[in-house]
Structure 1
Amino acid sequence: MTAKKAGGGKLTRSETVTVRLDPKLRYLVELAARSQRRTVSSYIEWAIEQSLQKVILFEGRSSAECDVNLAEAGADLWDVDEADRLVRLADQYPEMLTYDEQVLWKLICENGFFWRGKYDDDGDWCWTVDIRKLIWGRLREHWDLLKAVADGEEEASKLPSAVRREEPTFNPDDEIPF
């Protein structure tokens, strides 16, 4: 006989957040939730979603540009991979990066291993920081190490790096095919 699962299955995973509310606000939230026939948790989630439409990330500087709110930008910024989320945020709204995220982004930008590029005349790897040239697989593969280096838990020397191209050496005894 197999053990029966307790409770129903979840459709999506959710995060638990502990919030302090003063007694008056808590009471009003309970009343608002009742009025919408929701749980307090469901009401708070709904209220946060509504408030995201009022948070402006980009204010249009000309009549041709539109204000962008966080609810609209969310689809472009969200990804299930933490590494991808950081890159998207750094690319689109670098001013929103925390100090720790800035340190991590700088590590990524300064390491040619994560970027497509080319060798210069001296054999050094050159790249441009452009997310279209990011090697996403390498970033995801080394994400935990990058975070550990950014947090000071690991040495930067443990990060992979772009390899300098060595010029082929010419040996006069080698046969030259014609």
Structure 2
Amino acid sequence: MATKTTKRKGETSTTVSVGIRIDPKIKFALDMMGRMQKRSLTAVIEWAISNAITQQDWAHEEPFSEVIDKVWSTDESTRFVMMAFFMPQALTYDELRIWETIKATGFFWKTYPDGTWQVAEDMIDVGWVRSGWSAILEHVERHKHSPTIVPIPDTDLAPF
């Protein structure tokens, strides 16, 4: 996914560029919709996708679009944690390995006096996950062939 860079150094655009292949008839229809709505092709595609998101059926009480609003963050690690809590069925195998590693590592969780923790949205310290995100990804990659999840030792996380 490419991110546009503006003329000012260090700033990024709020949009991303996506290359897609579509049927010529669909492209024609989108062009005609753009003419009818007085919108650009990009605006018509965004409008159509936004409508599809609001209509997405996914067998949960909360509408899909509201869950997307909960999950979305510009920070990759925060977005990942929210996706793991609110859309776990969307995680890939590799993402599941990352999530299982986070769940098995006490460092990321608020602990009870006896040292145990509970995997719950209000018990995770997203700031610690964010700070250790690179270390988490490296650890999971290093142990990807292990048949079991390998928790990250505290010594590998502090200080990052």
With structure 1 as the length reference, what TM-score do the two structures score?
A: 0.69
Structure 1 pair 11–47 and aligned structure 2 pair: CA distance change class (3 A): farther
1:148 counterpart (138, 142, 145): 138
Structure 2 match to 1:57: 58
| Other structure's SS at 1:24 match | helix
Aligned to 2:95: 101
Large movers: runs of 4+ above 6 Å = 153-158
Q: C-alpha deviations, 1:109-158, integer Å up to 9, x for none?
A: 000011111453xxxx3211112111222110011221223334899989
How many matched pairs? 145
| Residue 93 of structure 1, CA deviation | 2.4
% identical equivalent positions: 27
1:86 to 80, 86, 94: 80
Q: Please name the residue that 1:23 is paired with.
A: 24
In the TM superposition, what is the alpha-carbon distance from 1:160 to its structure 2 partner?
Answer: 4.2
Instruction: Name 1:32's counterpart in structure 2.
Output: 33
- State how far apart, in whole Å, the 1-side matches of 2:19 and 2:133 are: 28
- Describe the SS at the equivalent of 2:138: helix
Structure 1 residue 11 displacement after superposition:
9.8
In structure 1, C-alpha distance between the alignment counterparts of 2:141 and 2:38, rounded to whole Å = 45
Q: Is the 8 A contact 1:116 1:133 kept in 2?
A: yes
Q: Which amino acid in structure 1 is aligned with residue 25 of structure 2?
A: K
The structure 2 residue matched to 1:161, chosen from 133, 154, 159, is: 154
Coordinate RMSD, CA, aligned? 2.9
CA distance in 1, matches of 2:17, 2:142: 28
Unaligned runs of at least 5 residues, structure 2: 1-5, 156-160
Q: What are the ranges of 5 or more consecutive residues in structure 1 without an aligned counterpart?
A: 60-66, 163-178
Q: Which has the larger radius of gyration?
A: 1
2:46 counterpart residue number: 45
Q: Which has the higher helix share?
A: 2
